[in-house]
Every structure is written in C-alpha cells, then in structure tokens.
Amino acid sequence: MTRQQAPTLRTVAATAGVDVSTVSRVLNSGPGDRARWAGPETVERILRTAEELGYRRNPHAASLRTARSQLVGVVVPRLQDFVLATIFEGIDQAGAELGYAAFVTNSLDDDAQRQARVEQLLSRRVDGLVLCDARTDDPLLQMLDERAVPYVLALRRSGDRVGAYADEVHGGRLVAEHLMQLGYRDPAVIAGPEYASTANDRVDGFRAALRAGGLNLSDDRVVRTGFDADAGRTGVAELLARGPAPDAVFATNDFAAIGALGALRERGLHVPDDIGVVGYNDTPLADSLPIPLSTVRSPVLDIGRAAFTLLEHHLTNKPHPTVTFTPTLIPRATTRPR
Amino acid sequence: MTRQQAPTLRTVAATAGVDVSTVSRVLNSGPGDRARWAGPETVERILRTAEELGYRRNPHAASLRTARSQLVGVVVPRLQDFVLATIFEGIDQAGAELGYAAFVTNSLDDDAQRQARVEQLLSRRVDGLVLCDARTDDPLLQMLDERAVPYVLALRRSGDRVGAYADEVHGGRLVAEHLMQLGYRDPAVIAGPEYASTANDRVDGFRAALRAGGLNLSDDRVVRTGFDADAGRTGVAELLARGPAPDAVFATNDFAAIGALGALRERGLHVPDDIGVVGYNDTPLADSLPIPLSTVRSPVLDIGRAAFTLLEHHLTNKPHPTVTFTPTLIPRATTRPR
DNA sequence: CTGAAAGCGCTTACAG
DNA sequence: CTGAAAGCGCTTACAG
C-alpha cells in the first residue's frame, strides 16, 4: 500500500459541492460562528465530508498565505537538564492547545551556538521565541529587540524584560530561614555562574534573610562555580581550603549539592550530623538519594506554560506582563535540628 | 523599529537583474554545480545580492511546492529522561547538518497520547518519524506501516523493524560477567516494564551470561517494576520479602538503582560490603553519588545521530539497515571484589 | 449565505 | 546559460 494522496481543500469542496472558500471558512471557524458562513445543512455536509475524506489542512500552504507559521522556537541551555526539559514540556503543552508547535534547541550557554540556533529558528519562520538562557547582560536580546522579533524569556531574567520566572530571591530566603530555624549559624554557599540571574537571585535572597536573622554571609563563605556535580565537589574543596568548615552548605542547584555530598563524605564529614546541605530544583533523584536531599521546588511546568501564553499574547497584541511563580522549600534528610 | 519586510526571491532577482528561476537554481545548488545554471559572474552577482539583502528562503513556500517539509518528528517516552533528551539531541544535530528541523514530543508510554502526538506530527507534514518508544507488540507501528509513513525506531526495538539500537543483550552480559568476576554468586534483577525491549534484552543477556558462568537466575530473583527510583525501592522490598537477600542487585536503570540504594540503606544493608549494586545508562549523577554507581553506558548521542541518518536514507531511497551500538561497563564503588 | 479571483514565495519542467 | 509560465494548497478581500 502506498502513502495516500492527501485530500486538499479542493477535494473536499468538490465532494461537498461547494467552493473551496466556503470550506475554508467553515473549517476555520469555531462551532459558534460557523453559521456566519454557511447554512446549517451546508456546514454539516462540509464537516462530514472533511471527516470522511480525512482532510487535514496543509500548514505550509496556510503559513504561506497568512505569513503566520503557528510555530515557536524555544532555546534552552541544555535539554538534558530536567528543569529545562520540563519548561519545554509546559511550552509545548500550552502551545499545542492553541494549535502551535514548538522547536527546541540547546544553546549550551555558548554565544556562538545561541546566535546560530536563533538564526536557524528564524529561518524556519517561527512566529516568536521563548528564551530560557538569557544572560544578565545579553547582546543577543538587544539584537532581537532591534529586529523587532517577538520573544519572551523564561526562568532566567535579563534587565526588566518580559518573561515567566520563579521568585528566586524568595527561594534563597526560604533556604536561609530553614537553616536558621534548625539552628545552623555559619552557612556557606556554592553558587552557579554569574551570568545566570537565577544563581544571583538565590544568593541575594539567602544573604538578605541571613542578615535579617542577624547572621552575616562573608565573602569567603561564597564560592561561584557551575551547575553540575563537579562544581559541587570543587566548591566544597574550595570552602574547606579557606578555613574551618561551615555548618551548612547551600548549593544553588541539586547537582552541585549532590557533588558536594560526595566530597563531604570523602572528607569524613557526616551529613546532616556534621554539616547540613540544601540543594535547589528538586531534581527527581533528590527524593531518592540514600540521604534524601533538602531542596527548593519551583513550579517549572507552569513557568513553561505561562511563557508560551505570554508569547501568544504578545503575538496577538494582548497585554502580556511578566509573571512570577513562588517556590517552596522541601525539607528532607540532609538538614535537621542541631 | 519594525520587523523588516523579509526579502523574497523576487526582490533578489530584481536587484540582480535576472529571473527568479535563475536565482532559485543558483541558490539551491552546491558550490560545485552552480556553474551548470549560470555564468560565473552571474552566479557571483546573485550570491552577493542575496547576501547583501539578507535573503532567506521561505521554507513554507518551498515545502508547498516540493511536498517535502525537511521536518522530522521525534516521539520519546519522556524528554525529562536524560537518555532520551540526548538521543533527541543527536537526531537534531544530524538533522540540522542536512537542513532538517525536528519536533519532539512526549508519549509518556501511553497509547492514547502516542497516537495523538503522532497524528499532530503528521498534520504538521513531517517527512518522517523517529520513534523512541516502540513496544514489543505495537499496533501504532502497524498503522504507520499500512499508511506507508516513513519512520525508523531508536533505542527500543519492535519485531525486526529498522532502527538504531544499543546492544542491550551485550550490556546485560557485561553486568553479569562483572559481578561473577568480583565473586558475586547470587544476584537479583530489578527490571523495567515488559513492553520495553531494552529491559527485556538486558535481563536476557544477564541471565545468559550467568548461565554460561554456571549460575542460575531463578524467577524469584527477578522483579519487574518500572524505570524510576520508586521502582527501585519497590523492587528491593519485593526481593527481600521473598526470602534471604541476594548478594547483588542489577537494576536495568540508574534511577531504579538509586532507589534501590536508598531502600537498602534503610534496611541497614551496606553497599558494596553487604550487597553490590549495578545500574544502567550512566546518568550524569551516577558518577557523583556519595557512593558512585557502577553502571553501563551506551553511546546514546550516536544512536540519535544514526537514527536520523537511517530516516534520511529511507526518505531518499538509500539503503538503511539497522545499526547497533556496543555499550561499555563502568565499574565504580557500588561493586567490589568479595 | 456563497462564489470567483488573486496571490502568498517558491520550484521545475518546458522552451529557446 | 537564462527566462516565462504553471502550480503547490491555502485565505481573504471583493462581489453579489
């Protein structure tokens, strides 16, 4: 059996005995206003014929005509990262509900790669972009602004650009309050890279809450590394090299926290008895580790959904103000009362 | 500043003083055979003009005309799974090199969802599909066969359909040989769901190698659960409920292995002293766990790349036989000589 | 309420 | 080597 010749609007029109324009109008109207375009029995006949023939509109023809592709492009640092994969899923879900399809692509937080990926997406004629890899200072965004390309941000902020975010400052604050409440007095931070607003905001919130609680986070209690397990190991090594061990470590990412856990173990420091550890993101594994990890969870699926909605509002000239979601602290076994 | 009016072939043709057909032919030829379509200085002029005007072909117009979209659809069980995200990345990379773009979507291993996702992809007029969620018995694939939709499989097999796979039987064998070599004599298996060929093949290879080594894997040493950490916990509970503890556990997935690690710990069984544990996939975290996990690694990026190549060969009527990649054992701290 | 026509931006036989 | 023409499958003013 060979691939069936896909029926076109013309086929449907001929079979139903009406003009293609009528079929087009009926098929593109909601159940509510179909009556505006054809008599009830004509509508019924068209619908039935399209159904029987298995008609599907050719999106390329429609795009060509309307100059709208119903396609969006999503740029993430790494799709292998659970948080980003989930944000994409949210975008994809919300998009599908409105007839949009989404392309995703990895930027690897690399300038050249980001640039190339965005150009490819634009070549594919996406209607707009969701960028999940914004930098605090970001020339790419300026370029998009100049070219008037519709886009929104997600997760990572840049200036006061519109996007769907988690309240990372609040997240950092939750961690500090949790630690203070348990009696920790000398915490340290292993933070992600400077170009990510998320890492910065978490540290800021953490520091502010500590101060409000009468504690000071000195510079030698903060180390900036990356987002992976290796960063956690390096971070612990660095902190311990600087002097006496802190009584808790806040890693701004679960992977870094897990790396830290390993490094602490090698040095004979017991968690949570000798030292507390808190991560960020609530990675699926956090719950299932031999010592379940205390961490912070943000509603990342919702962030993805909201980002798409923002973009769609942008594309249809509706208001689309920034939205911010609130994270929650998930206390588990790597912290406990002292 | 408003979005620039995108230059079309017509603009380029007018500016260069030639016909659109000439521009089209020149732009669509490789550097080698451009000379077939225009004189050298004409070619040069066209290329320069297109460059200066920032011309990009409208892919929707091209698709409409050629009935080829240069789009492929990828269906994965879950993009949140590192292995699947990496396979997608391979497909996307290899596709981009040949001018293809890829859509990904989650099937969640759910029949209705898979069906719906595939239909959406087909509505978008993808040229073909890469399916990473095939089942041992799979009605969806039969449907695609009947409709003559071009597709290839990746990772999970179904019958003898063409795809890019890892030699999972070999992977299972590697685990068994590793354990026997270290002196383990009574291993158990926590296996993924029956509908996934990967889980079945790993168990088959494991069992065969054990037998070759004079060991027998009895039925009560095998428990079938799922692919996540919870499955690992449940698996351990089930195994221990059946009688004396095994001296090793092979979980066919790292997440399950990590869940197992947690459950063993709660029961006071020390890894690797009391019991060895081996996972599968070499998840990023495996290396960084407090007790680094022994596991098996398959070249999943290559599997993704190969899957795309297979599909592209299919689409262009070139031979495209199944390809199989060989996994490697990564011994770490959850197993050791007894 | 329905139809006829134009045109979106390409590619590709067909001529010359 | 280059051009003129047709047509892919839609949508949308414009008529009536």
pLDDT, tens digit, 9 for 90 and up, residues B91-149: 999 999 999 999 999 999 999 999 999 999 999 999 999 999 999 999 999 999 999 99
As a whole-number percent, the residues of chain B with pLDDT over 90 amount to 83
- Nucleic acid strand D within 7 Å of A25 CB: yes
Contact A288 B56 (CB under 8 A): no
1.10.10, 1.10.260, 1.10.600, 1.10.3470: CATH of B9-57 = 1.10.260
> Considering just the CA atoms, what is the radius of gyration of chain B in Å?
26
- Nucleic acid strand D within 7 Å of B22 CB: yes
Q: Kind and range of the H or E element at A203?
A: helix A197-212
* CB burial of residue A7 (10 Å; 0-12, 13-18, 19+): middle
Nearest residue of B to residue A230, measured between CA atoms: B288
pLDDT for residue A1 is more than 50: no
Give the closest-approach CA distance of B193 to chain A in angstroms.
19
Give the closest-approach CA distance of A329 to chain B in angstroms.
21
Give the closest-approach CA distance of A215 to chain B in angstroms.
30
How many Cβ atoms sit within 10 Å of the Cβ of residue A17? 11
* Cβ atoms of residues A190 and A256 within 8 Å: yes
pLDDT, tens digit, 9 for 90 and up, residues A143-198: 999 999 999 999 999 999 999 999 999 999 999 999 999 999 999 999 999 999 99
Q: Is the dihedral of CA A186, A190, A194, A196 positive or negative?
A: negative
Choose among B64, B86, B262: nearest Cβ to A289: B262
Under the banding of pLDDT at 50, 70 and 90, the label for residue B178 is very high
Distance, Å, A25 CA → D11 C1' = 9
**Chain B stretch 244-273, residues whose beta carbon is closer than 8 A to a beta carbon of chain A:** 255, 258-259, 261-262, 265
> What is d(CA A21, CA A42) in angstroms, rounded to the nearest whole number?
13
* CB burial of residue B170 (10 Å; 0-12, 13-18, 19+): buried
Residue with tokens 């050298």: B40
Distance, Å, B62 CA → C8 C1' = 12
Backbone phi and psi for residue A329, each to the nearest 5 degrees, phi listed first = -85, 135
Tell me whether B289 touches chain A (CB under 8 Å): yes
> What is d(CA A55, CA A47) in angstroms, rounded to the nearest whole number?
10
Q: What is the pLDDT of residue A227?
A: 86
Chain C positions with an atom below 7 A of a protein C-beta are 1-5, 7-13
- Nucleic acid strand C within 7 Å of B8 CB: yes
Which class is B168-299 in CATH? alpha beta
Strand partners, B101: B71
- Nucleic acid strand C within 7 Å of B55 CB: yes
pLDDT, tens digit, 9 for 90 and up, residues B195-243: 999 999 999 999 999 999 999 999 999 999 988 889 999 999 999 999 9
pLDDT for residue B3 is more than 60: no
3.40.50.2300, 3.20.20.70, 2.70.98.60, 3.40.50.1820: CATH of A71-166+301-326 = 3.40.50.2300
What's the mean pLDDT in B267-286?
94
Backbone phi and psi for residue B106, each to the nearest 5 degrees, phi listed first = -90, 135
DSSP codes of every residue in B85-103: HHHHHHHHHHHHHTT-EEE
Contact B290 A288 (CB under 8 A): no
pLDDT, tens digit, 9 for 90 and up, residues A197-248: 999 999 999 999 999 999 999 999 999 998 888 999 999 999 999 999 999 9
Residue with tokens 């690897």: A108
Q: How many beta-carbon pairs under 8 angstroms link A with B?
A: 137
Nearest residue of B to residue A232, measured between CA atoms: B288
What's the mean pLDDT in A79-98?
96
Residues of B in contact with A58 (CB under 8 A): 64, 125
Under the banding of pLDDT at 50, 70 and 90, the label for residue A290 is confident
Residues of A in contact with B267 (CB under 8 A): none
Q: Is A64 left (phi over 0), alpha (psi -120 to 50) or beta?
A: alpha
Contact A69 B80 (CB under 8 A): no
Residues of B in contact with A85 (CB under 8 A): 79-80, 85
Nucleotide nearest to A16 (CA to C1'): C2
pLDDT for residue B251 is more than 90: yes
Q: What is the pLDDT of residue A319?
A: 95
pLDDT for residue A37 is more than 80: no
Contact B258 A230 (CB under 8 A): no
Distance, Å, A152 CA → C9 C1' = 29
Residue range(s) of every CATH 3.40.50.2300 domain in chain A: 71-166+301-326, 168-299
- Nucleic acid strand C within 7 Å of B211 CB: no
Choose among A125, A148, A289: nearest Cβ to B258: A289
- Nucleic acid strand D within 7 Å of B42 CB: yes
Distance, Å, A42 CA → C1 C1' = 10
Q: What angle do CA A23, A26, A28 make, to 5 degrees?
A: 105
Residue with CA nearest to D4's C1' atom? B19
Contact A262 B290 (CB under 8 A): yes
Q: What is the pLDDT of residue A2?
A: 39
Distance, Å, B35 CA → D4 C1' = 21
Under the banding of pLDDT at 50, 70 and 90, the label for residue A33 is confident
Contact A261 B230 (CB under 8 A): no
Contact A255 B289 (CB under 8 A): no
pLDDT for residue A72 is more than 70: yes
- Nucleic acid strand C within 7 Å of B27 CB: yes
Give the closest-approach CA distance of A59 to chain B in angstroms.
6
How many Cβ atoms sit within 10 Å of the Cβ of residue B176? 26
**Chain A stretch 72-131, residues whose beta carbon is closer than 8 A to a beta carbon of chain B:** 79-80, 82, 85-86, 88-89, 92, 96, 101-106, 120, 122-125
In order of B108, B248, B281, the CA distances from B182 in angstroms are 38, 11, 21
Tell me whether A232 touches chain B (CB under 8 Å): yes
Q: What is the pLDDT of residue B2?
A: 39
Nearest residue of A to residue B119, measured between CA atoms: A56
pLDDT, tens digit, 9 for 90 and up, residues B44-103: 889 999 999 999 999 999 999 999 999 999 999 999 999 999 999 999 999 999 999 999
- Nucleic acid strand D within 7 Å of A9 CB: yes
